[in-house]
Amino acid sequence: MLDGCTPWPPELAGKYRAEGYWAGQPLDVLLRDGARNHPAKTALVGPTGTRWTYAELDARADRAAAGFLAAGIARGDRVVVQMPNIDDFVVTIFALLRVGAPPVLALPAHRESEIVPLCELSEATAYVIADSDDTFDYRTLARTVTKAVPGLRHVFVSGDPAEFTALPDAAPVPLDAPDPGEVALFLLSGGTTGTPKLIPRTHDDYLYNARASAEVCGLTAETVYLVALPAAHNFAFACPGILGTFAAGGTVVLAPNPSPDVVFELIETERVTVTAVVPPLALLWMENAEWSDNDLSSLELLQVGGAKFSAEPAGRVRETLGCQLQQVFGMAEGLLNYTRLDDPEELIVTTQGKPLSPADEVRVLDADGNDATEGELLTRGPYTLRGYYRADEHNKRAFTEDGFYRSGDLVRVLPTGHLVVEGRVKDQINRGGEKIPAEELENHLLAHPLVHDAAVVGMADEVMGERICAFLVVKGETPALRDVTTFLRARGVAAYKLPDRVEVLEEFPLTTVGKVSKKALGKLLEED
Ligand code: OOB
């Protein structure tokens, strides 16, 4: 395996292979098989109305792969990909899989303060972007990033490349299949620390992730899956998402954004059957469905995950949107929990599902480290990482000796095996499914000239689940919220990480061991 990655121990790898969890195939087989078995079937509908068959998409991926090779991208190179929901995103990912140059999946919302460290950590040789979307010109960002990261040799652009290089396209060349045990791509962790963490996903593990998810979600060749979330997010990409839909021979439809008017129109015109959202979007869609004239009757399944979906709105999905709900409690690190299609309504509404695979090992430990029915969730299995990329020190804390990943999530296990997410022990804020590592944001705040100390905590919010409150100890003058967010934006921090509120204290409450007590800070917000 690529240097800096932690392989599964041979006994477990042998078991996963022998028991058929790992198929021993490269991930791009999902597209190759589709092109062979049903070449004329529509694989991808782009946001500008492009419709590509499996054969066309497969051929485009081959041409782009040949182009990347000709441009000097070699097997083993890492390539940071940051694209909105456009057809070239899918082409680029499959092309890089074929070259064997693992893509690093950045989100469109990321800015300089996220992209630069990602390029550095991955030692990326290339950065692939779209020229712009409705709100942002990615070439501006690329100019800053290339200045800051000398190792970045290429910037490829879908659309107008300006001074950069257009997405490559060349006559297909024969390609050696990658080793299925090798890293196929890197996902970003939601993170809890000051620096980004990369999650290596192998061909074997991610292929299983996609195929098993497609099966548990009942996808078939009739499935029309709408990508409403960012395509680069694990949920929309492979749970079952784009990859799972290809595995089933269905059609993927890319939505340029998740606003109700855009997606409702697409659901009607493309006869969408499945889609995935985070809870605030589910609420927005449910509210808007009441007024909408669009015919949503094709929709069979709405997956909701990324943050806790409360039982009350969960119980109203069927009556408002006319489809079945599936709760999904997943993580880019691996483990996926799904409510099953044939679960009793009560479990679908009140739990976050149960593990996808019979080979998922789940442990729940109480605060003293004893097995319990309520406590921190630890897991290992055929599609859960064994270590973050190049993060030896962090890995010692994030994993047990025997390779269980400490999720930082607090869960309760029911006798059926279903999990209810009750909270977390990790220092992260979950703002409507978007993850903010507390330490990272605090470090940015500490750079503000008026800030002496900073501690960020989540404050309960009916729609978002949580919003961000930044507690500050200041040097003299108190900065207004607006000053703080302007400062953070100027540092290139993604918009979803900006505080919603600033509170100034004389000093921070401390725990008995002298650390800032986030619990006490949270209490201050509750009393408010
Ligand atoms: C998904 O992945 P990530 O990596 O952005 O975030 C993982 C974390 C989990 O550890 C948990 O803290 C939280 O997000 N989470 C949920 C949840 N789903 C995720 N918390 C409560 N209820 C849920 N249903 O968020 C993700 C990856 C694949 C599929 C779906 C979500």
User: Could you tell me the CATH number of the domain that includes residue 508?
Assistant: 3.30.300.30
Whether 403 maps to a domain, the answer reads no
Whether 383 maps to a domain, the answer reads no
Whether 324 maps to a domain, the answer reads no
Whether 248 maps to a domain, the answer reads no
Instruction: Single out the residue in 128, 146, 179 at which a domain terminates.
Output: 179
* Of 177, 146, 26, 158, nearest in space to 88 by CA: 158
**Which tokens is 149 given?**
């990261």
Return the number of other C-beta atoms located less than 10 Å from residue 102's C-beta: 28
Which residue owns the Cα nearest ligand 1 atom 8? 331
Instruction: Single out the residue in 145, 179, 213 at which a domain terminates.
Output: 179
Q: Give the residue numbers spanning the domain of 495.
A: 428-527
CA of 36 to the centre of ligand 1 (A): 35
Taking CB atoms and a 6 Å cutoff, what residues make up the pocket around ligand 1? 190, 234-235, 239, 305-308, 327-332, 336, 352, 407, 409, 421, 424, 430, 433, 435
Ligand 1 atom with the smallest distance to the CA of 188 is: 4
Ligand 1 atom with the smallest distance to the CA of 435 is: 5
Which residue owns the Cα nearest ligand 1 atom 30? 330
* Of 238, 213, 218, nearest in space to 227 by CA: 238
Bridge partners of residue 399, in order along the sequence:
405
Instruction: Single out the residue in 179, 207, 232 at which a domain terminates.
Output: 179
Query: Strand 251-254 and strand 42-45: pairing?
Result: parallel
* Of 515, 375, 443, 400, nearest in space to 193 by CA: 443
User: Could you tell me the CATH number of the domain that includes residue 146?
Assistant: 3.40.50.980
Per-residue pLDDT of the chain (528 residues; tens, 9 = 90+): 999 999 999 999 999 999 999 999 999 999 999 999 999 999 999 999 999 999 999 999 999 999 999 999 999 999 999 999 999 999 999 999 999 999 999 999 999 999 999 999 999 999 999 999 989 999 999 999 999 999 999 999 999 999 999 999 999 999 999 999 999 999 999 999 889 999 999 999 999 999 999 999 999 999 999 999 999 999 999 999 999 999 999 999 999 999 999 999 999 999 999 999 999 999 999 999 999 999 999 999 999 999 999 999 999 999 999 999 999 999 999 999 999 999 999 999 999 999 999 999 999 999 999 999 999 999 999 999 999 999 999 999 999 999 999 999 999 999 999 999 999 999 999 999 999 999 999 999 999 999 999 999 999 999 999 999 999 999 989 999 999 999 999 999 999 999 999 999 999 999 999 999 999 999 999 987
Ligand 1 atom with the smallest distance to the CA of 428 is: 12
Ligand 1 atom with the smallest distance to the CA of 303 is: 30
Please give the single-letter amino acid code of residue 87: D
Which residue owns the Cα nearest ligand 1 atom 6? 331
Whether 125 maps to a domain, the answer reads yes
CA of 351 to the centre of ligand 1 (A): 13
Whether 71 maps to a domain, the answer reads yes
Could you tell which of 189, 233, 234, 331 is best to mutate to test the pocket of ligand 1, judged by most ligand atoms within 8 Å of the CB?
331
* Of 19, 110, 20, 90, nearest in space to 50 by CA: 90
Ligand 1 atom with the smallest distance to the CA of 407 is: 10
Whether 187 maps to a domain, the answer reads no
Number of domains making up the chain: 2
* Of 156, 88, 157, 145, nearest in space to 111 by CA: 145
Whether 250 maps to a domain, the answer reads no
CA of 308 to the centre of ligand 1 (A): 8
Which residue owns the Cα nearest ligand 1 atom 12? 409
483 Cβ neighbours under 8 A, 6+ residues apart? none
CA of 304 to the centre of ligand 1 (A): 10
